[in-house]
């Protein structure tokens, strides 16, 4: 979607777990263009994946 300010934005349908949000992942992100939006979404999913790996290996 595009905001009133002209930015593209996306939000996850399911929120990240609290520990993932605490690690810095954001449920809603924005960017100037679609390529940037894809990049920032991938970054957030990467943060989540990295945090989940850490949690799994410390159990």
Model pTM? 0.77
Evaluate whether 47 touches 31 at the Cβ level (below 8 Å). no
Residue for token pair 């992100």: 29
Classify residue 30: in a domain, yes or no: yes
Give the pLDDT of residue 55.
57
| pLDDT at residue number 3 | 78
Q: pLDDT at position 41, please?
A: 96
- Report the alpha-carbon distance of residue 50 to residue 22 in Å, rounded: 13
State which residues form the domain around 41: 8-57
In a domain, 18, yes or no: yes
Is the residue at 36 inside a domain? yes
In a domain, 1, yes or no: no
Number of domains in the chain: 1
What digits encode the pLDDT tens for the residues 1-47? 677 788 999 999 999 999 999 999 999 999 999 999 999 999 999 99
Residue 59's pLDDT band (cuts 50, 70, 90): low
Domain membership flag for residue 3: no
20 falls within a domain: yes
In a domain, 2, yes or no: no
């Amino acid at each position: 979607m595009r905001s009133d300010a002209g930015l593209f934005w996306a939000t996850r349908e399911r929120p990240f777990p609290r520990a993932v949000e605490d690690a810095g992942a954001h449920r809603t992100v924005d960017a100037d263009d679609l390529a940037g939006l894809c990049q920032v979404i991938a970054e957030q999913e990467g943060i989540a994946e990295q945090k989940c790996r850490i949690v799994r290996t410390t159990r």
